[in-house]
Amino acid sequence: MRNLKTVYQRALIKYPVRTQAVQAGILMGLGDQIAQNFIENESKTIDFVRTMQFTGIGFFITGPATRIWYGILDKHIGSKGSSIVIKKVLCDQLFFAPTFVAVLLTTIGICQGKDMERLKLKLKNEYGDILKNNYKLWPMVQLINFSLVPLNYQTLVVQSVALLWNSYVSYRTNSDRRSEESRDETH
């Protein structure tokens, strides 16, 4: 266990974006599996393609985007002091969160094979609620994260909390898909 921690710490120093991309991918895939196995639990069939899509989104978008964003905040706002923490949380929640939720929903919709009309409908139906729920959780998480956690570990903290958040997002963004499938089965 100690060796694993050492390897992880070295990887964070040498390859911070790549390391955090891998951890985000793993945790997003795990979040989807939690959604499928424990929240949805409608059928015993597991959609591994969906899990791999969530893993890919974590690896290619979530991990790199959050790590780069935290680096930008650290560079331009700073890293110490309560007023700096407040500024970082405000920037994160006013600029990054709304944009990121839109990117995430769009990417998930594309992975689901939605055309432009259905993507617009997906954003219209889900964006507001997901963003509102984002504001119930993430400001407090980021307040703790930005005030107590060193930059190299901030993405890990966020992705750990996001394990449950990703389960919610997976469930929420696949509810329309489940509705379409049950409509198709009845017709």
Assess if residue 138 is contained within a domain: yes
DSSP letter at 95 equals I
The pTM is what? 0.86
Residues of the chain with pLDDT under 70: 42-43, 176-187
Assess if residue 168 is contained within a domain: no
Assess if residue 20 is contained within a domain: yes
DSSP 3-state assignment of 153? helix
pLDDT for 40 equals: 84
Q: What is the pLDDT of residues 96-150, one digit of tens each?
A: 999 999 999 999 999 999 999 999 998 999 999 999 999 999 999 999 999 999 9
Structural domain of 39: 4-152
Assess if residue 181 is contained within a domain: no
Q: How many CB atoms lie within 10 A of CB 111?
A: 16
pLDDT for 12 equals: 92
pLDDT for 147 equals: 95
Which residues lie below 8 Å from residue 101, measured CB to CB, with a gap of 6+?
A: 127, 130, 131, 134
DSSP 3-state assignment of 129? helix
Assess if residue 163 is contained within a domain: no
pLDDT for 2 equals: 82
Assess if residue 82 is contained within a domain: yes
Spatial distance between the Cα atoms of 61 and 144, rounded to a whole number of angstroms: 23
Tally the domains of the chain.
1
Spatial distance between the Cα atoms of 169 and 28, rounded to a whole number of angstroms: 10
Percent of the chain whose predicted confidence (pLDDT) is above 70: 93
pLDDT for 177 equals: 65
Spatial distance between the Cα atoms of 108 and 186, rounded to a whole number of angstroms: 26
pLDDT for 182 equals: 54
Assess if residue 159 is contained within a domain: no
